[in-house]
Structure 1
């Protein structure tokens, strides 16, 4: 075979090797490159935080003011793990083992901003609250823990007042309750568990798919909590069926102005629901109101019956809420009443208060 015949094959092989080389170089460059968050990179700041190939250049003051962990990390004369001095005088680089999303949510709260913002124009999104709670727990920002918990309790109430005031709109993604269960376990806040577990029970088989955070991180329940949901689901269905039956007790419609007609209406409605013609009874969706079913199926009943039915429906939901910890298999002291002040552990294991005295612990109101 002539030398000329070999040239095309050799040329193709060389091109393939060259392409593979540049592809490896590109991947290596991407793996070692960092993205600078321009909203959280201040040219005159001295602290560089790295998280998931994202760089934040921020001020030291807010970090050490709010977090004793950062205070120890950045103020101590002793070398700290994952902390290094860099070429620029007075600049410190810290490698954080947190998601860039969580770090960004925290820094947006405590750092000055180079963008104009109007306060109060929107509620804090659920995922940002969860991110702040994770960071506040890890970096011991007690005030932020309490603020985050207050917001979560609006979505997952633990008092009768919050339960009555809760929004009636369905959450965009019920799977987010998985994140709440995990957070409740992480920070030891059992009062979040009953409502979150009840919501997890509505997921059915999708519970095994977990919950995906905005940064793509997947959260899953522990095997223990999945088992808890399996047991709780049956009890929630039983509670819902019992609540439905209570709506048809004779005491509910004492003020009926058309008993002959309305009794026939309600009997028909009862058998339609229990027989499955109207779906929605045998589910763990205990907060799904029966009043809407009634209005749609028997709109002709008297006004007194309508109002009595609605009032009893709300009363039955309140009874389920009162029993919820028992139904889902968790213990919550003082369930249904405003929480007592939480004991915070002493945060002075490596530092003192500004007054120079040591503390034994503090109370949150």
Structure 2
């Protein structure tokens, strides 16, 4: 995937569950003791007594350190240097402490700040983020220009939403489309995040995952703040039409795999030929299991052969032709299907979109 450094600055062009314009406030008065009308509560996790920066999101105040944030975000640094305020959080009274008030939700800001500071949990070693944590870090990382945070998060997603050029084995991993801590419906959010940051290589797999959803595809899912995350109308259409197109493509591929032509090296043609006929005749009854929208078709082909030939009549040469998806007809058809996924779901393979003018997320305050 191209580096996110090459992607245009779209923070003012698109907004995924974040307000597009950061709000900056600053107060560095020493020993502030006056009363204020701004009522905030101390965050239980990210509060350091010697911190020199108070960040307020909603009614929650975080006390952290300026330097780690400003090393990675010139936007936050600029906000603090140009901001001003006449109000301060209730807790800023223990000495010199600058203050930023952000327009993002406190949950999102907490996930974002965890990328810089260790709170109750040390984030070391192989840690799988929840969807909410990763989503917030991509969105706020993009909004505030923390490119390394965005790139690392996209790289993580790429392991579970592989590129179509990465090969069949990559698409056969156990948790494909389902990182630990994710539900399948979070693929909707992955599509939106990919659109936001121009991570086009995530889209084919994310679209396929969305197409495997039922009613959730149109309803979306509720976020912690009560809003809903849904697909843009154009992407919803791509998923619906893509599901139908995939079913047709998989059906065609299956008939090519199970055609009656037996192996040219077969030594038991009289015994193997009727098995091929039986496999093809039973294909219509197996369509529901063969043609789901999760690229399990190749492994389903082998299962179909095994269930059709319970007495194991097929000779080794004929079985290798249709029953082993790492070779023979199955390999050829699976590779062709994999290459067609971007076309089927209407997204280019490997390209980068710097700007996306569609409405990416439709938010409703009603979470029901």
Q: How far off is 1:37 after superposition?
A: 3.0
Any conservation in 1 of the 2:115–2:149 contact (CA below 8 Å)?
no
SS in 1 for 2:349: coil
1:285-313 deviations in Å (ceiling 9; x for gaps):
44343223333443424444443322333
Q: How far off is 1:45 after superposition?
A: 0.5
Q: Note the 1:1-365 alignment, pairs <5 A.
A: 34-74=40-80, 76=81, 78-79=82-83, 86-113=92-119, 115-116=121-122, 118-120=124-126, 122-161=127-166, 164-166=169-171, 167-169=173-175, 171=178, 173-213=183-223, 217-249=227-259, 253-256=263-266, 258-274=268-284, 276=285, 279-288=288-297, 289=299, 290-299=301-310, 300=312, 301-309=314-322, 310=325, 311=327, 312-333=329-350
SS in 2 for 1:45: coil
Any conservation in 1 of the 2:278–2:308 contact (CA below 8 Å)?
no
- In 1: Cα distance, 2:267 partner to 2:43 partner: 67
Q: How far off is 1:72 after superposition?
A: 0.9
Deviates further, 318-327 or 235-244: 318-327
- In 1: Cα distance, 2:51 partner to 2:295 partner: 52
When the two chains are superposed, the root-mean-square deviation of aligned CA atoms in Å is: 3.2
SS in 2 for 1:37: strand
Pair 204,117 (structure 1): closer, same or farther in 2 beyond 3 Å: closer
Any conservation in 2 of the 1:272–1:278 contact (CA below 8 Å)?
no
SS in 1 for 2:305: helix
Pair 36,113 (structure 1): closer, same or farther in 2 beyond 3 Å: same
Q: How far off is 1:139 after superposition?
A: 0.8
Any conservation in 2 of the 1:84–1:92 contact (CA below 8 Å)?
no
SS in 2 for 1:200: helix
- In 1: Cα distance, 2:255 partner to 2:74 partner: 55
SS in 2 for 1:101: helix
- In 2: Cα distance, 1:82 partner to 1:123 partner: 41
SS in 1 for 2:236: helix
Any conservation in 2 of the 1:237–1:286 contact (CA below 8 Å)?
no
Task: Tell me the TM-score normalised to structure 2 length.
Answer: 0.71
Q: How far off is 1:133 after superposition?
A: 1.1
Q: How far off is 1:100 after superposition?
A: 2.7
- In 1: Cα distance, 2:235 partner to 2:85 partner: 34
Any conservation in 2 of the 1:256–1:302 contact (CA below 8 Å)?
yes
In the alignment, structure 1 segments of 5+ residues that lack a partner are 1-31, 344-365
Asked which structure has the greater RCO (Cα within 8 Å, sep 6+), the reply is 2
- In 1: Cα distance, 2:274 partner to 2:106 partner: 61
Pair 280,188 (structure 1): closer, same or farther in 2 beyond 3 Å: same
Q: Which structure carries more helix by proportion?
A: 1
Please identify the structure whose Cα radius of gyration is greater.
1
SS in 1 for 2:115: helix
1:190-230 deviations in Å (ceiling 9; x for gaps):
22222211221111433112133456542101112112222
